[in-house]
Amino acid sequence: MRERVLLTPFTQNILHPQYPDTTLVKLEEQSENIEYTAKTFDIDPIKLKAIICVERTNNYSWQDEYFDDYPAKKGQNSSIGFCRVKMKTAYWIEYHLTDSTSEFYPGRKYKDILSISQSPQEIIDKLKDNRTNFLYASAYMRIIQSYWKSREYSIEDRVDTIATIFSYGMFSRQTGELLKFNANPQPNWFGLEIEDILQKIEMIDI
C-alpha cells in the first residue's frame, strides 16, 4: 500500500520561505557584518542587503537554521548560512580569489581574504559563521563586478544584473558554458524583485 503524505497547515507554514519583513529585521541585526564585508570587497552594502533579502525570502525557512548542514554532510550541494551560499559556489569563490591566472581573479587586494578549504567540513564550518558567510557573498559580488568590468561591461550600477548573475550563476545551466556578455542585459525574476526591495531598504534605512 502506497503511503500518502498529508501537508497540514502547520507543515505548509514550516516550508514557507522567510517573509521579507522578517528578513529585513534579520539584516538589521547583521549590519556590522554587512558593512565590514562590503568594505572588505569594495561593494555597495545596500545592494548586498537587497540581494540577500531576496535570496532569503525565496530560499530560507526556519528549519534551515537547525538542519542547514545535514544535506551538505551527505555530499549534497546545499545552501548554507545567512546568505544561502552553496557549497560548490563557496569553493569556486575560494579558488578564483587565490588563482592569479584565473580570468575571474578580481585582484591581488582580495587574494588572502578567503583561503582554499581542505575539506567539505571546513567549508561547512566557514559558511555557518555569519561574518564569513557574508564574506563569501561579498566576494561573489566582487568577482561578478570585476569580471564584467575587465570585459569593458561595467555593471556597478546595475543591481538587477548583479542580482541576476548572483542567483543564476556565471555559467549556462543547459550547456555549462560561460554566459555571453550583453550590452543590454535583461534581469531574471530575481533581478526584477531587487528594485522593490532596494527601495524599501533605502526608505527604512536599515
Average pLDDT over residues 146-150: 95
In a domain, 188, yes or no: yes
Q: Is 73 exposed, middle or buried (0-12, 13-18, 19+ CB in 10 A)?
A: exposed
Q: Could you give the CA distance from residue 172 to residue 39 in angstroms, rounded to a whole number? A: 30
In a domain, 8, yes or no: no
- Is 50 exceeded by the pLDDT of residue 8? no
- Is 60 exceeded by the pLDDT of residue 14? no
Q: Is 195 exposed, middle or buried (0-12, 13-18, 19+ CB in 10 A)?
A: middle
Q: Which of 9-18, 36-45, 165-174 has the highest mean predicted lDDT (pLDDT)?
A: 36-45
Of the pLDDT bands very low, low, confident and very high (cuts 50, 70, 90), residue 4 is very low
Q: Could you give the CA distance from residue 111 to residue 33 in angstroms, rounded to a whole number? A: 20
In a domain, 4, yes or no: no
pLDDT > 90 fraction of the chain, expressed in percent and rounded: 62
In a domain, 198, yes or no: yes
Average pLDDT over residues 7-21: 50
**In this predicted structure, what is the pLDDT of residue 182?**
78
Q: Identify the domain containing residue 65 by its residue range.
A: 19-204
In a domain, 164, yes or no: yes
- Counted domains in the chain: 1
Which residue is associated with the grid cell 526556519? 62
In a domain, 6, yes or no: no
Q: Could you give the CA distance from residue 62 to residue 16 in angstroms, rounded to a whole number? A: 9
In a domain, 193, yes or no: yes
Alpha carbon 160 to chain centroid distance?
Answer: 14
**Which of 187, 170, 197, 179 lies closest to 55, judged by CA?**
197
In a domain, 12, yes or no: no
**In this predicted structure, what is the pLDDT of residue 46?**
95
Q: Could you give the CA distance from residue 86 to residue 185 in angstroms, rounded to a whole number? A: 25
